[in-house]
Amino acid sequence: MKPPRGASPEPTLVSTLPLVRDRQASRKMRLRIKLLALASVCLSTLCQCSTGTATQRRTGLPGPGIFAQPLPRPRGRPLRPARTDNLVRGVSMRLPILCLLCCACVYGAGPFNVVDYGARNDASANAGSAIRAAIQAAKAAGGGTVYIPAGRYVTGPIELVSNLVLDIDAGAVVRFEASEAGLTYTKGRLEGTDCITPAPLIGGHDLENVTIRGRGLLTTDNAAWMRLTREPAAVAARAVFTNILNSLNGNMPVPPEDYQKAAPALRPSFIRTMDSRNVLIEGIHIVGSSMWTIHILYSQNVTIRGVTVETYPGVNTDGVDIDSSRDVRISDSYFDTGDDGICLKSGKDADGLRVNRPTEDVTITNCTIHHAHGAVVLGSETSGGIRNVVATNIVCRGTEKGVRIKSTRGRGGLIENIRFDNWTMDDVGEAINVTSYYTRSPQEPVSKRTPVFRNIAISNMTINGSPVAINVEGLPEMPVTGLQLSNIVATGRAGMKAYNTAGLELHNVQVNPESGPAFLVRDSTGLLLDEVSSSTPAPGAPVVRLDRCPDAILRSSRAFAGTGTFLSAGPGELKSVVLEGNTLGKARQVSEESQTDYWKAPAR
């Protein structure tokens, strides 16, 4: 029965099909619209050709079609009417073929839904073969989008190809099994040493124009991967890998078959691109990791944004590792990890010095980091060098370190042109840590094995509740050079400690320790303390203590009420300290010379 005129139609039943099919239908409809538009253009062109031919037949003059412009007249020959019948007939015959080719190109771009290739979205069967089939179909089409719709999937490693978008939709949960059965081995790098490694759970090498995106969840079990490393075969392989490292560092040859024997001891990265360019990783959520979570190796032009990585307390589960790569941008992401949050590396020891590829031109911004060993870390694998790095707008809470730059003797590499700016840190074990003593190796002559730190600026930091606010450790044979700390307010159990520096500058830095000097510096040259203060100086300790810091300058600084001694130096050393424009009237004693050793650790 028809409804009366003007009445609303009977409500129809809402479709019970899953939303994923609605999205698929919507995508297919957009493709059909594109094809209709393309066909319309082709038909219009064909009509113009026909119109031009008919006009020419009636009048002998060019018609309004695509051949309306006459060809230039050849010199010395009589003008003859241009014959376009055969040409138009050829174009007319080829236009449908052109339309079909265009249609094929549009449909070839996908999306290639893994369910259409046999993936079960209830995790009842391994979806690895279906995902591989979808990726190969995209590859055969010249590229496209492989689509993983909402549902639960279990799989092994996924190898990517160039010109591919891997789209993990909201509601999709992809779980990677911790199993030796699905692993393959390929060239790679483990903790700074080139070797044969397990292929990553997602990734590949020699890729170009690759995207991993979506609001879905990727997950694996770190504890299960660790159990595999305790299997007898893995323990034996680990001994082989240790021998490889010893041979490399001893300049001894390594038989190629040893790399194959050692590979089963190693765990795969979760995501790794190697020797790749134009990579985008966006929006994904990762829970748990086999090893390093996102490993960018020997790659260029990489963007990582809007990702969430939650791997705490997994072993060696760094959030992002940028490894001998360049032109990298990391932004708007959250990390809660069992190892470093964001880490920049460039190779380790003898093998890293052999490869000698830097990490450079990296920006990190608008990130929150929790539970990490270090929030943003440079090193300790520094052999190829790290330069031109900016890390801004960072919030970190509960990490062991905040800003961390670390290397050691024997590793070498140049770290330079680094800027950390606009951070807040709460409950961070050591807020700012710059050290060349990562492994406390014995002193050796300066060579390419000696790490070099220079031109580093750390500014606009708020530090609350740190056991150690600032710790700077240079080598006596290679001081940290050109480090600037500015606009910092820090509270914690201990203040700033620095030794073996050259050209260290502090500008507008306030440190409020519970005990000990606010600023404790030794064995440094070219020291400038500009606008330094402690609003709650620790009782029984000077605000500033200098040991063996010739020609240090203290200027524009002030003493707050309750200050005992503002400046203390070793016997006979005050005469070399320059005081300029300070306001120290509220201190009971402006300066003193004292033999008191305020250093808890013995001098190195």
Q: What is the DSSP string of 344-405?
A: EE---HHHHHHH---EEEEEEEEEEEES-SEEEEE-S--TT-EEEEEEEEEEEES-SEEEEE
If one counts every other C-beta atom within 10 angstroms of the C-beta of residue 336, the result is: 22
Q: Based on the number of CB atoms within 10 Å of its own CB, is 7 exposed (0-12), middle (13-18) or buried (19 or more)?
A: exposed
The sign one gets for the Cα dihedral 97, 103, 109, 111 is negative
Output phi, psi for 564, to 5 deg. -85, -90
Mean pLDDT by 10 residues, the chain (604 residues): 41 34 45 45 42 40 36 41 42 42 46 98 97 98 98 98 98 96 94 98 98 98 97 96 96 96 97 98 98 98 98 98 98 98 98 98 98 97 98 98 98 98 98 96 96 98 97 98 98 97 98 97 98 96 98 98 97 97 97 93 42
pTM for the model stands at 0.83
The string of DSSP codes covering 243-254 is HHHHHHHTT---
Output phi, psi for 252, to 5 deg. -105, 145
Return the closest-CA partner of residue 358 out of 321, 324, 399, 403: 324
If one counts every other C-beta atom within 10 angstroms of the C-beta of residue 534, the result is: 28
**Token pair recorded at residue 25:** 């239908």
3-state secondary structure of 283: coil
Stated as kind and residue range, the H or E segment containing 153 is strand 151-155
Please give the Cα distance from 53 to 50 (Å, whole number): 5
The reported pLDDT for the residue numbered 109 is: 58
CA distances from 306 to 150, 201, 364, 465, 599 (A): 20, 20, 12, 29, 43
Non-local (6+) Cβ contacts of 473 within 8 A are 434, 435, 436, 437, 480, 498, 499, 500
Pairing of strands 185-190, 193-198: antiparallel
CA distances from 118 to 24, 129, 166, 167, 449 (A): 16, 8, 17, 17, 54
Non-local (6+) Cβ contacts of 120 within 8 A are 127, 153
CA distances from 529 to 83, 403, 485, 504, 538 (A): 89, 21, 10, 8, 19
**Token pair recorded at residue 470:** 């600032």
- Phi-psi sector, 393: left (phi>0), alpha (psi -120 to 50), beta: left
Please give the Cα distance from 528 to 15 (Å, whole number): 73
Length of the chain: 604
Return the closest-CA partner of residue 567 out of 550, 591, 587: 591
